Amino acid sequence: MAGQRRGARRRTAACLLTALLGLAGCAAPGPVDPAPQEIRTLLDRHARALLARDEAAYAVALDPAHAPAALAEFDRLAEVPLASWGYRLKDVDRSGQDRATARAELSYRIDGYDAGPVTTERVLDLTERDGRWYVTADRPAEGAPQQLWQQGEVETVRGRHSLVLGVGQSEERLKAVAAYADRAVPAVSAAWPGDWARRVVVLVPATLDGMGGLLGAPPASYRGIAAVTTGEVGGGPHAPADRVIVNPEAYGVLGEFGQQVVLTHETTHVATRAATSAATPVWLSEGLADWVAYRDTGRTAAQAAPELRRAVRAGDLPAALPDDKAFAFGGDADALARAYEGGWLACAMIAERWGEPELRDFYRAVGAHPQREGAVEKALAEVLDTTPEEFTDDWRTYLRQRLG
């Protein structure tokens, strides 16, 4: 009997739980907030108006207090040949009955240059009046970079293979940058005859601070760096587009030869992006870019690697190829130079001893590996028929021969 009573109680409890679950399932759902869909529609209209250069339609979505700043950006974008512009709404946070903050991914492409879009995170503040939403502020998300047109009036120069966009720069200076970029593209194509766009977009901000803003990073980290290339490693046809960003201060103190080397180096990063991955060590990606940049210049190792030459002559021969940390910006400038020079001479040694096709094959084989561990070792064995120990010994001997 006790067992039967316990069983009855269990059955009663089960029936009660089922009844409660059934009641919960039958509860009426809460009202759906219409704001996300309304804001998504607003952003779509906003994007279409910008692409159509329809200022009146663009202004409809703007709160009067935000309109002057937003319309200034609208005017600056007239100099940028856009092929697409759109928002992907990611999140809406209601902060009251008539206020909201939206987080969105902005993506855009430059016509004739970008196979894939540039993407960046934006935060938009909105207010609702009379049943309609208006943008009251539009800013980069935390850690996200600025866009060039947010820094001032944009000047555009088109080259044969390049598009140069500048803020606070003379047309003459931008034309000179375009000329170097136009020479860089065929030089890179000759050294890296693979499938790449053979076009480059170069951004020239007004100051070092402007460069930092475009990178979403402290400008002091790039003080002595003439230019950098942004992009996504291993990028396919739909990966975010590359941009070469020039530091107007460091680039400006270089002579003609140095400026050409810098833009050829950075253009190499654009060309090799699809073959570069997380498996690629920095000594290889930077070394290849320098190898291409110096390839047809006639410069000797002693001329192009002065810091490493001083170290070798002082008896301080590197024991190993530079690791990724050696390429960090903002540290010892001489040590950074030695890291770049060591990577370049490793690639130069491969091209000289094994051949330029083998250098390209080695680079692609490393980048095709699924992870960093074992990538170089496997490519050394399969492409160059050597081991890491033998390769390092050969490289150290090469340094002594070329720099000693």
- The arrangement of secondary structure in 153-271, i.e. its CATH architecture, is 3-Layer(aba) Sandwich (3.40)
CB of 179 closer than 8 Å to CB of 220: no
**Residue 262 corresponds to which tokens in the numbers above?**
């810098």
Average pLDDT over residues 375-386: 98
Would you call 83 helix, strand, or coil by DSSP? strand
Would you call 31 helix, strand, or coil by DSSP? coil
**CA 13, CA 378: separation in Å to the nearest integer?**
64
Question: Sheet of 227-230: strands edge to edge?
Answer: 154-158, 162-167, 200-204, 243-246, 227-230
Q: Helices 388-403 and 375-383 meet at what angle, rounded to 10?
A: 80
| 355 vs 232, residue with greater confidence | 355
Task: Determine how many CB atoms are found less than 10 A away from the CB of residue 391.
Answer: 18
pLDDT band at 3 (very low <50, low <70, confident <90, very high): very low
Average pLDDT over residues 50-72: 96
Average pLDDT over residues 333-359: 97
Residue 157 DSSP symbol: E
Would you call 34 helix, strand, or coil by DSSP? coil
Q: Helices 256-271 and 282-294 meet at what angle, rounded to 10?
A: 130
**CA 270, CA 228: separation in Å to the nearest integer?**
11
Residues near 347 by Cβ (< 8 Å), separated by ≥ 6? 284, 287, 288, 290, 291, 359
CB of 380 closer than 8 Å to CB of 395: no
Q: What was the pLDDT predicted at 116?
A: 86
Q: Is the model's pLDDT at 109 over the cut of 50?
A: yes
Q: Is the model's pLDDT at 24 over the cut of 50?
A: no
Q: What was the pLDDT predicted at 299?
A: 93
**Residue 209 corresponds to which tokens in the numbers above?**
């601070």
The pTM of the full predicted model, rounded to 2 decimals, is 0.88
Class of domain 35-144: alpha beta
3-state secondary structure 85-153: EEEEEEEEEECCCCEEEEEEEEEEEECCCCCCCEEEEEEEEEEEECCEEEEEEEEECCCCCCCHHHCCC
**CA 181, CA 244: separation in Å to the nearest integer?**
10
3-state secondary structure 196-265: CCCCEEEEECCCHHHHHHHHCCCHHHHCCCCEEEECCCCCCCCCCCCEEEECHHHHHCCCHHHHHHHHHH
Q: Tens of pLDDT along 271-285?
A: 999 999 999 999 999
35-144 matches 153-271 in fold? no
> Where exactly are the structural domains of the chain?
35-144, 153-271, 277-404
Q: Is the model's pLDDT at 220 over the cut of 70?
A: yes
Residues near 197 by Cβ (< 8 Å), separated by ≥ 6? 113, 115, 270
Q: What value does the mean pLDDT of the chain take?
A: 90
Would you call 315 helix, strand, or coil by DSSP? coil
Would you call 194 helix, strand, or coil by DSSP? coil
Q: What was the pLDDT predicted at 332?
A: 85
- Dihedral angle at the C-alpha atoms of 19, 20, 22, 26, nearest 10 degrees? 140
Q: What was the pLDDT predicted at 234?
A: 60
